[in-house]
Structure 1
């Protein structure tokens, strides 16, 4: 840096001899104080890094004032600010030559989001909805990370859905991050309840149309509510139901049960509804596509023995297939108009046998 000579000269006074003196002053370079810091979030560590330099000796003393009535003498301190706001932080850097320099920076401390979560009652095998209730005093929350069962499942939706497979207590952690990178976390243990197990029986099954069918609840657990779906658009809410079907067919019956905690379970069984066999009193095999075949209607049938006789008792048609009926011919020719007698023996699902006889008029 160089130096200067300071000269003091006295002049003669009252007969004294004039004199002078010289003092050589040498200047040494001071350090240049500087530092950087990471983004600051209230209550979380802010890293301060000394960036001071010197051309003479080394920096050997650091005096930090963080602006919140706390200080440090570490070279690269870590400091948590207790609350959001703007703090004037300064560093005094001193080198081995005894010179010092000071630098000030404003540190903006951002608010930390407060993580809060809630959930519905959790039941085994049932989707549980988790709701984010987190908030922040300024800024916005932009990222959510849900940790279910210690890392078994990670979900980044704000309000996720999760299904627990077994009864018990399981940890759930929510971590939220603000638009300025500040992080808030909360965790809790979720108690997963066993819930009921739905089961029921059907009697009779198969059944006939319009026949009363008994649906008996056989569920286990503290069941308090029952929801029946008979598969034909009709349902019920009694524990045990009695119902009859208007039409034949296969119907999927579903029972859903719920307990006092809102846990539920569902199960389904199929019921077969058969129609009693019926025959028309007349048919017209004229090829117009309407009532051309004398056919047993109803069913389904597991076995059929269908016969048609002439007025003289001669067998003119026989079938063991419910889908095959008499087309009004006999020995390859059109049978004459008139009245014919018939008999059938059909077996309906459930080993029910129906035997009937009657007559039909053939017209053209």
Structure 2
């Protein structure tokens, strides 16, 4: 709901201005510093958020120095916002403005960002002169208002000469060598005159290089400053061409704006100051011309009643004596947003004239003319009844005819332009703080399982996700936790300065079970014994299934109880499945005391009736299957079936005394399980 001002006559100063000191994209707000808190505190009021400067410059050492690069960054970018909330802070004059619609751009606070009130009337009548605060390096330079029905203009709306400031003419009484300073940017007056303010990011510097749309200063010695630029480029500053200590290069004209789609508005660039210091003090009035400011009018109908809108650039009116002339300021920008434009209206965005010089000896350089400004409208063209002055400023001249070239190479600026079918940059996407759509509930996994966490969120800017352990930067992450884990996720804006994090945690429960066994009787068992094995399970969920290994020796099972009678030592394994289907495995070993065949360690086949044969003695539960005997060289000397004995002979011959190896295979008479044994025996003669 936009507040409508009942007052129909537009006041002389309809706008208030405030510097933006910080942004908070998390809450879609700006922090401003103002002495007029009251005008910003009513919800529903609208403001224009605009960055005045900051276009990157070409810094090559040629005639393109200081021109705009293709990317203007956020220089000149503006957004019209409706205030949803105005909050005071503990700092005097500080106010937090929250907006209904999304702040789209990432503004650079180091490049003069301000908010300007955008009052709205039912029907606005301009019957008296209307103006705005001149640009002061931080705020100002804009006149803007709107109406619900119509704006009628019978007087003058002026932001003329109130834009980017021209360079200051400051005396430097020394020469920079015989041939003057040749460079484009210099840190001091020794190098040349001060550059004009403009769209560029140069700040206060000296020398002939442009500052984006700001004109370059005249180089040492006595060269003219370049004109400021906007839609039209500024004119070149003149050269000095006299005797000793009069060489140098004139300031380059401020660059034109590469394109203007309506979402950027620029004040006219300031002219560059001349290099001065020889004359009789006439430089005091030789400051370069300021550019024109910005006018924004918006209503269904804008009707001219022989009124005027002017954003012209300033001319340099002082003629210098024995010093260079400064550059004129460029025309500003005027945006007319309406369904209908009608009536008689004069629109003036012409550039300012460069400064003249008066010197027949040194022939100092005159100033370049300012470029013409920009007129924008959402319509395809302006009506024929509108008189539009887009003319550039004239260059200065040397009023002494004895100089070979009275211009010294100084030139006029370029013509301004009308841009049709441009859209006023009103924000219309509602601000949406980071809001998680997926509400994760605690989830349960079995050991070894993976889980895909797929989140979604709404926000006014692109998001980046940060999951625990840096698993993913997308909205989806895959985890395979071995134990219960708390997964932390942070959502941030990926393209904005500052942190607007929104975090949430997901508890992933991994079911666990610890299995131990009790056995009775305890190990070792004898073959034929029966043992009970009881499984003890400590689990996070009740066990629903008990699945026992039913191999050799299995007798029966009942839940966690197992009865076994294994014929040999072996393990019995349990698969325990809980109520959520998680499988847990464990095994219990049941050991059998091994029964063997007794193998004597010697015999003496000498016919004395004592130990004349080698005979083995099996356990009662075993039967001997086979026996083999080998001599010390690994040669088989006996192969015996069953429980038969060896008489110490092989192939009818007595075997010599010595140590022999016996390999015997026996079989359990109950289970049929066969086992092998090795032993050593001594044959004694």
Work out whether the TM-score is over 0.5.
no
TM-score, normalised via structure 1 length: 0.44
